[in-house]
Structure 1
Amino acid sequence: MQNGNVKIKDLFNGDRIFNIPKYQRAYAWEEEENLAYFLDDLKNQRSEKSYFLGTLLFHERKSRGEYEFVDVVDGQQRLTTIIIFMKVMINILIDQGSNKVSNKTYSRYIYDGHSYKLELENEDSSFLHNKIFGDTDAIEFETPSQKRLYLAKVYFYNELSSLNLTDLENIFSILIEADVILYVVNKISDATQIFELLNDRGKKLTDLEGIKSFLMYRIGCLNLKDNGDQSIDTIQNNFASIYRKIEKYNINENDVLRYHTIAFEESKAHYYNNPEGFIKNKINAFFKESIDDLEIKHEIMAYTERLRNGFDIFNIIKENSISLDHLNNLFMIGRVNPFYPLLMHTYKYNFNNFSEFSRDLTKFTFRSSLVGLKNDNEVFYKYIRNAENFSNLFKWITNDNWWDINKRADETLSNRNHYVRINNNIIKYILFSYENHLRKIKGYPLITIETYFSDDKREKLNIEHITAQRAKNINSTIEFEENYLHSLGNLVLDTISSNSRKSNNSVDDKLQEYSKSPIMSQNEINDEKIDWDNIEEVKLFIDKRNEMLLSFIKTHLL
C-alpha cells in the first residue's frame, strides 16, 4: 500500500482487512453531530468535483493468509461509518435493481464469504458482524457503542430509502470516487509521531485521546533499542483497559481525569481542570532539561500505569464493588462528585481506613446537604496537594463544629416546615433510612440502592403527605399548615404508583392502602388508634412521629 492520494474504491481492493485496535475509542458517532453532516456532504457534493474525506493513518501488520491486514491508527470513526453506510447503500441499490452494484461489490466492501473487511478488537466486533452487517432484528445492546453502531445503520437506512435510484447511484459514485490522503507505516512508533502531528494541526481530540497520543509520540522520540515499540504496546494496553471501562460503565472520562490528577499527581491547583496540560508540561520539561531517555521512559510508563489504576479505583468506588453501606449512603445523599479525589486517594494509600473515612464523609455530606452548605473543595484538596494526612478530616469537621455546621443542622431540623425547607432528596434519604431501620429490626430484607434510584413506576420511591394538602376529612387551619402539614411527622415513603392511586384521598381511605403496603413505615401508621377526623389528635400524632424521626436522625444519620 502506497502513501498519498487514494480513492475509496482503491482503498477497498477486496484483499484488505481493516482492524480497529483495542487501544482505540469505541464507535462514537451520533446522528445530529456526525452522521447527518456525513450524509449531507455526500448529497450536496457536485458530481464533477472530487469529494475529500480527510486523512487516514494505517499501520501495516503481517498478512493474514491471502489478506493484507492493517491497523487503523487514525480515522477509525470515519472508516467504520463509511463501511456501515456502504452496507446499507449496497443493499438498497441491489433491491432497486441498480447496475452500479452486485454481490461482488458487497464482497469488496463488506464480506466476501470468508472474512469481514472491518474488524474491531473489542467486545463490539461480533455485534458489528452479526447485527450490523447481518440483518437480525432482535437487538440487545451490551455497550453504548453497540447502540450507536445500530442507530447509524438505522439512520442511513431511513434516509437512503427515501431517495430515488438516480440520487442513490449519484451518492454511491461520489463516495467510491472520494479521495483520502493515506499514510502507511511499518512501525507503530512512526505512526504515533505522524498521529501526534496530524492531530496537533486543527483536529480536536478529547483530553484522554490527546494524552494517549502525546505519550506514544514522546516514547517514539526517545533513543531506545526497540524504537519504543514495546513501551508503546504497553501504553496501548493501558488505554485499551481505560476505554473499555469508559464504554462499559458509562464513565465521564473528563471527570475521572480531573479526579485522578487531584488524587494521584503532584500537580498545582491550576492544573486540576487541565490534566492534559499537566502531563504534557511535565514530560516536555524532561526533554528540555536533557533528562536521561530511560528516566523519561520510566516516568511516561509510570504515569500510564497510575492513570489506568486511577480509572480502576474510580470504577470500584462508583460501582461500589466492595459493597460498602457507607458508599451507598453517600451516593443516595447525592454529593459524592467533589469527594471522589479524597475517596480515591484514601482507597489507594489508606485502604484499612477507607470504611471509617467513608462513614465520616457521609455524616458530613448529610449535614452539609441538610443545611445547604456550599463546599469549598480547595479546602479539602489542599491536604492532598500538601501531602498531609486527611483521614480524620470529616471527623474533625463534625466534632469541632466547623462552619457552625452542627448548630445549623439542629436549627434546620427544629424548623417544622421540613418539606419546604429541606432538599427533597434529603427528605427521601431520611425516610428511606428509617424504612430500612424498621426492616433491620424486624428481620425483613432491606430496600436496595437500586430501588432508591429506580425509574420503574412500580417501585420508584416518592414522598407522600400522610394528610394530603386537600384532605377531605380535616378542616385545616393556618396553624396546621404552618407547623404540621410539611413536618417530617406528616411525611412517609411511598412508591409513585401507590402514591398516585391514593392521590388526595381521606386519611381513612389512605389507611386501607397503608395496611396493604410493602413499606413498613406505612404499616406502622396503620397501628395508630386515633380519630383521623379530629385535627387535634392528628396534630398529636404528627408531633409524636416528628420527634421519633428527629431522634432517629440524631442517633443514626448525624
Structure 2
Amino acid sequence: MQTGKSTVKDIFDGTRIFNVPTYQRAYSWEREDNLEDFLNDLCSQHPERPYFLGSFLFHLNGNKSEFALVDIVDGQQRLTTLVIFMHVLLGRLIEQGSALVSERTRRIFVRDGDIFKLESANEGNTFLHDLVLGDRLYSPEEVTLVTHSQRLLLDARQYFEEQLGCHDLTMLEKIYTTAVNADVLLYVVDKISMATQIFELLNDRGRRLTDLESIKSFLMYNAGVAFDHPEQVIGKIQEDFSEIYRLIESHKINDRDVLRYHMLAFEPYPSDYTDKPKAYIKERIIRLVSDPEKRDEAREQIREYPARLKKSFQLFAKIRDLRLADQELAQTYMIGRVAPFYPALMKVYSEKASDFHRLVAAINAFTFRSSLARLRSNGESYQYTCMRNGDDVVELIERFVQENWWNVNGRAREALDYENYYDWLEKNVVRYILFSYENNLRDKKGFPLLSSKDYASKDSRERLSIEHITAKRVKSVEFDDEFREQYLNALGNLVIDHAASNSSKGRKDGHEKLAHYSLAPLMSQNELNDFCCDWDSLGSIKEFIKRREDRLKTFISTRFGV
C-alpha cells in the first residue's frame, strides 16, 4: 500500500487489519447528518463515474499474526462506517445468491476466521466484533451500552439493515460495485511523526476539525519540529488525548467548553483571548518554536500542555459527579447558572480544595438572587481578571452579595413582590423554589429528601413540573381581570408536581384536585389541606392563594436570606 490514488477494493486486499488508535475521537456518525448522505451518495452515483470516498492517512504499525496492522490517523469515521456497511451489504447479497460475492469477499472486508479486519479500542473490540459486526442484529434495548458511541455504532448497523432491506438484487449489486470501485486518496507513512505533519497539512487546507482535534494535531506536528527524536513525545501526547476522549465519551462532555474553562482557570492568557483558547495555545507555541533561544521552553509546553488539559477534563468530570453526593453543589446545578463559574470551581478544587465549599456557598447565594432578579451579569470578567492576576476568586464572588454588586440584594427583594411568578421568572427558578420548599417540609418531618437526580429526571412520568393549583380554566368559578392579572400565576397558586400527575388533573376544579393532592407523594401538595378554601368562591380562592404565597415568601426569605 503506497501513497497516492487507490480504490476501496485495493486497500481491502485481505492482508490488512485496520485499527482505530486510542488517541482518536470515538465514533460519532449519526443517521441524519452522516449515514443518510453516505448511503444516498452510493445509491445515486452514475455507473460510469467513480465515486470518491475521500482521503485517508494510514500509519503502518507492524504486524498482527500474518496481517499488516494499519493505524487510521485520518478517516476513521468513514472507514468504520464502510466496514459496517459492507458487513450488511455482503450479507444481503449472499442471501440473495449474487454471483458478485462469496464468503471469500466477507473474509476480505469484514472477518477472516477469528480475525476481524477492523479494530477499535475506543468502543471495545468485543463490542464492535460481537454486537456490531456479528451475525445477529441487536437492538439497543437488548444490550448494556456503556458509551454514546456504542449506541451510534449499533444504530449504524440498524440503519443499513433497514435501508438495504428495501432494495432488490439489481440495486444491491449496483451499490456494491460503486462501493468497491470507489476512489480513495491515500497518505501512507511508517513513522507517526511523519503522519502528524501530513495530518496538519491536510487539515490546514479547509477540512473541518473540532478545536480539540486541531490542537492535538498541532501539538503532534510541532513535536516533530521541535524534537530531534519526537516519537516518545508524540506517544505521550496521544496517551493524554486518549484519556481526554475517554472522558468526553463517558461523561458526555462538551470539549469546546472545557477547553475554554481550562484556559481561563490555569493558563497565562492575554485578556483579549478570553474566547479563543485554540488561538491562544497555537500562537504561544508558534512563538516559542520560532525563537531558537526559547526552544527548551517550546519543548516543555508541547510536552506539558496536553497533561494540563487532561487534568482539567478530569477536574470537570469529577466536579459534575460530585454534585450527586454533595447537596450544596447540587443546588448550584439546580439553580442553573453553573457555566460561568466552572473555571473558578475547577481552579479552587484543584489548588485550594479546603475553600471549595465556601466557593459553592458564595455562588449559590449570588446566582439565586441574580436569577430571582433576572440579572444577566454573572461577573465573568471580574472572575477571569481575578484568576489571571492570581487573586482570591472565592473572596471576589462572596463580595458580589456582601457588597451588593449590581444592587443584586435590593433587586432580589423587589422580586419577592412579583405577582406573576409563572410568566415573569425563568421556569427553572420557580421550579427550584418549589422543589426547595418541598424538601424543607420533608426535612422538618424527618422524611427522605428529594435528590438532584429527582430534580434532573427526564423520565416522561417522573419529571418534576410546575402545576397551577387553580387551573387557568375551571368549570366551577368565573375569573375576573384582577384574578387573571394578580393571582392566577402568583407563587401561591403554584406547586411542584410529577409530569404524569400534572397532566392527569387537567382543568379539574379545586375540589377534585384537592382529593389528588391529599394522596400525593409530595408533602407540599398534602399541605394544601391546611389552607381552608371554598373552591366555588373566587374571593375564597384569592385568599387561599394570598395566604399560601405569604408562607412561601417567608420560606424564601428565611432559606435564602433574601
TM-score interval (norm. to shorter)? over 0.9
Partner Cα separation in structure 2 for residue 108 and residue 553 of structure 1? 69
| Counterparts of 1:168 and 1:479, CA distance in 2 | 69
Structure 2: how far apart are the matches of 1:475 and 1:174? 70
SS in 2 for 1:17: strand
Looking at structure 1, the residues matched to 423 and 42 of structure 2 have their Cα atoms a distance apart, in angstroms, of 56
1:110-509 alignment, distance < 5 Å = 110-134=110-134, 135-139=136-140, 140=143, 141-224=145-228, 227-320=229-322, 323-375=325-377, 377-474=380-477, 476-509=479-512
Tell me the CA shift for residue 523 of structure 1.
1.1
Q: What's the offset of the Cα at 1:26? A: 0.9
Shift of 1:402: 1.2
Which residue of structure 1 aligns with residue 27 of structure 2? Answer: 27
Displacement of 1:472:
4.1
2:38 is the counterpart of 1:38? yes
CA distance in 2, matches of 1:49, 1:416: 69
Deviation, 1:514, is 1.4
* Structure 1 contact 13–108 (Cα < 8 Å) conserved: yes
1:521 corresponds to: 524
Change (3 A) 1:41 1:530: closer
Question: In the TM superposition, what is the alpha-carbon distance from 1:408 to its structure 2 partner?
Answer: 1.0
Q: TM-score, normalised by structure 2?
A: 0.94
1:295 is displaced (CA, Å) by: 2.8
Distance 2:438 2:58 in 1: 59
- Greater alpha carbon shift after TM alignment, 179-188 vs 127-136: 179-188
| Residues 228, 403 of structure 1: alpha-carbon distance in 2 compared, 3 angstrom cutoff | same
Match of 2:76 in 1: 76
- Over 3 Å counting, the alpha-carbon distance change for 1:448 and 1:183 in structure 2 is same
Question: In structure 2, what residue type is equivalent to 1:213?
Answer: S
Change (3 A) 1:54 1:466: closer
| CA gap 1:175/1:531 in 2 versus in 1, 3 angstroms | closer
Cα distance in structure 2, aligned partners of 1:72 and 1:232: 16
Match for 1:105: what amino acid?
A: T
Identity percentage over the alignment? 46
Does the CA-based 8 Å contact 2:227-2:299 persist in structure 1? no
CA distance in 1, matches of 2:502, 2:187: 63
Aligned-pair CA distance for 1:322: 7.0
Cα separation, partners in 2 of 1:498 and 1:379, compared to 1, 3 Å: same
SS across alignment from 1:459: coil
Gap change, CA 1:537 and 1:156, over 3 Å in 2: closer
Distance 1:214 1:490, change over 3 A: same
Please give the root-mean-square deviation of Cα atoms over the aligned residues, in Å.
2.0
Alpha-carbon separation, structure 2, partners of 1:386 and 1:536: 60
Distance 2:542 2:40 in 1: 67
1:130/1:136 contact within 8 Å kept: no
1:108-151 CA distances to partner (integer Å, 9 max, x unpaired)?
A: 11011121000001234322211221123343332221222222
Structure 1 CA distance for aligned equivalents of residues 47 and 472 of structure 2: 69
Gap change, CA 1:537 and 1:2, over 3 Å in 2: closer
Does the residue aligned with 2:115 lie in a helix, a strand or coil?
coil
TM-superposed CA distance for 1:535, in Å, is 4.6
The offset of 1:538, in angstroms, is: 4.0
Alignment check: 8 A CA contact 1:245 1:251 kept: yes
Residues 401 and 5 of structure 1, relative CA distance in 2, 3 Å threshold? same
Give 3-state SS (helix, strand or coil) of 1:505's partner.
Answer: coil
Which stretch of structure 1 is more off in the superposition, 9-18 or 462-471? 462-471
SS where residue 73 of structure 1 aligns?
strand
* Alpha-carbon shift at residue 533 of structure 1 (Å): 4.1
SS at match of 2:322: coil
Please, which moves more after superposition, 202-211 or 125-134?
A: 125-134
Q: 2:513 maps to which residue?
A: 510
- Equivalence for 2:100: 100
Using the TM superposition, name which of 86-95 and 175-184 deviates more: 175-184
SS in 2 for 1:319: helix
Change (3 A) 1:366 1:106: same
Shifted more, 359-368 versus 447-456: the winner is 447-456
Amino acid at match of 1:297: R
CA contact (8 A) 2:324 2:452 kept: no
Cα offsets for 1:449-502 (capped at 9, x unmatched): 222122324322122222333344445444444443332222221122222222
- Deviation, structure 1 residue 36: 2.7
Q: Which runs of 5+ in 2 are unaligned?
A: none
Question: How far apart in 2 are the matches of 1:420 and 1:35?
Answer: 42
Offset of 1:292 from its aligned partner?
Answer: 4.7
**CA distance in 1: counterparts of 2:230 and 2:27, whole angstroms:** 28
- Name the CA distance, whole Å, in 2 between partners of 1:504 and 1:46: 60
Q: Distance in 2 between matches of 1:322 and 1:511?
A: 33
SS of the residue 1:240 aligns to: helix
Q: Is the contact between residue 42 and residue 171 of structure 1 (CA under 8 Å) also seen in structure 2? A: yes
Q: Is the 8 A contact 2:59 2:191 kept in 1?
A: yes
Secondary structure of the 1:373 match is coil
| Aligned residue in 1 for 2:548 | 545
Give the AA of the match of 1:82: L
TM-score by length of 1: 0.94
1:272: Cα distance to partner? 2.7
SS of the residue 1:182 aligns to: strand
